[in-house]
Amino acid sequence: MGFVVGAVFGAVGTVQHQTTLALGSFSFPLGLILSLVGVLALLIGLRLLIGDRLVVLLAAVGVVGVIALLSVQSPGGSVLIPQGLAGLVWTIGPVLIATVVVAWPRLPERPRTPSATMGEA
């Protein structure tokens, strides 16, 4: 299931990463930022909720695999990830995010102390 969800995130992010918001003379890369934040939220969320690195790894393979598949030139000559800074960040960013999230060490749980009751305060 992680692979399928990752593939969906990769496909949507690939299509939307070129979306920009014009603010005066500055073009803000809104689609790229939201796509990277979406991938980060997906992988961290899976890691925190499920705790299994395999599911996170499968989701990451889904994201990166779809990005690689959609970056190839189609028979008609069109590409979804054109050369440029946004395309470069979109192809490398999810790989770096996935590497950090999958390799992050498991943090030990804090010992739970009994909470003080109203009478003891």
pLDDT in tens, 64-86: 999 999 998 888 878 888 888 99
C-alpha to C-alpha distance for 43 and 56, rounded to whole angstroms:
6
Alpha helical stretches, state H, the chain = 2-16, 30-49, 53-70, 85-103
- Average pLDDT on 90-105 reads 94
| Per-residue model confidence (pLDDT) at position 45 | 94
Higher pLDDT among residues 109 and 28, named by residue: 28
Tell me the percentage of the chain whose pLDDT exceeds 70. Answer: 93
Q: Which of 3-17, 19-33, 63-77, 98-112 has the lowest mean pLDDT?
A: 98-112
User: Whats the size of the chain, residue-wise?
Assistant: 121
For residue 116, pLDDT over 60 is answered with no
Mean per-residue pLDDT, 7-20: 93
